[in-house]
A = this chain, B = another copy of it.
Amino acid sequence: MRLTGVIPPVCTPLTPDHQVDTASLTRLVDHLLAGGVDALFVLGSSSEVAYLTDTQRRVVLDTVVGHAGGQVPVLAGVIDMTTPRVLEHARVAREAGVSGLVATAPFYTRTHPDEIRTHFRTIAALGGLPVYAYDLPVSVHTKLSAGLVLELAAEGALAGVKDSSGDDGGLREVILGRAAPFSVLTGSEVTVDSALWMGADGVVPGLGNVDPHGYAELYRCASRGDWEAARAEQERLARLFEIVRVGGSRMGGSSSGLGAFKAALHLRGVIDCPVTALPQTPLNDDETGRIGKLLAAAGLL
């Protein structure tokens, strides 16, 4: 069965003292399900997975799997440097009851393409769940080649790919080269209509935390072939995506993007506190105000 539709990477609300805010997290899950999403992806980059301790990761898994209660599939990121560490996260996620694993290529280490292949094969063999490759060169500093993805797809080691590389040429190469049950998901917030047009199966939009209804509507329009409406919805969302640039050059891209999603969720009343994990720089009042204006312009406040 191919995973399709809108699968937001669920933000991880924190309390002011940096603990997982499970009450806000369950409200966020409700908000996403009410918005019509098709599955949930916890512990992705937009979930601040890189900042969460293993204990916090487990709280997130238990909270979301428990609260979703089987209404939709839950995928879990198993983001870590190498195979043995990823396998540990996979074991925990499997025990928590998720439906699939999302893994990047190794990072921090200097890794050969043959070793990346071994990495995914090993996770597939020992992880006990379908594996989705997470192509995120901005973090991992390696681009997964279409050739490698297709090879791993053909042998059954990968159930799909989440392509956050921004390289839609490579995305198309995978779409045209795959055999039937392999799921191609774009991680781009602003080219969803065109990715679906090319034949992608779904989208994993960080911005989907803020406006799940919008992405669900976009997907529905595309599914019924109303591409004009899909494009109009996408263009509205692309303008909203401007919130991630409000932080500008005075902070890192992670702070700016993740801070914007949380500020917007806080302004919309979904989560109690917009704080992000250390060492991220918080948005200031002026920046939060500008996010509010962009939300209002998108009809979300």
Knowing A173-B190, A238-B173, A239-B176 touch, does A252 contact B51 (C-beta < 8 A)? no
Asked if A67 lies at the interface with its beta carbon under 8 angstroms from chain B, I say: no
Residue of B nearest to A277 (CB): B84
Q: How far apart are the CA atoms of A197 and B52 in the complex, in Å?
A: 40
Knowing A166-B167, A194-B198 touch, does A51 contact B279 (C-beta < 8 A)? no
Which residues A198-221 have CB closer than 8 A to chain B?
198
Asked if A223 lies at the interface with its beta carbon under 8 angstroms from chain B, I say: no
Q: How far apart are the CA atoms of A254 and B250 in the complex, in Å?
A: 23
Chain B residue contacts of A169, Cβ below 8 A: 166, 188-191
Q: Mark A219-255, 1 if CB is under 8 A from B, else 0.
A: 0000000010001000100110000010000111111
Asked if A135 lies at the interface with its beta carbon under 8 angstroms from chain B, I say: no
Knowing A110-B254, A239-B176 touch, does A191 contact B188 (C-beta < 8 A)? no
User: Do most interface residues of chain A lie in helix, strand or loop, or is the interface mixed?
Assistant: helix
Query: In which size bucket is the chain A interface?
Result: 35 or more
Which residues A152-187 have CB closer than 8 A to chain B?
166-170, 172-173, 176
> Does A54 lie within 8 Å of B54, measured CB to CB?
yes
Q: Mark A3-47, 1 if CB is under 8 A from B, else 0.
A: 000000000000000100000000000000000000000000000
Can you offer 6 A-B residue contacts whose CB atoms are under 8 A? A106-B279, A108-B139, A167-B167, A172-B190, A176-B238, A227-B227
3 nearest A-B residue pairs (beta carbon) = A110-B253, A194-B194, A118-B279
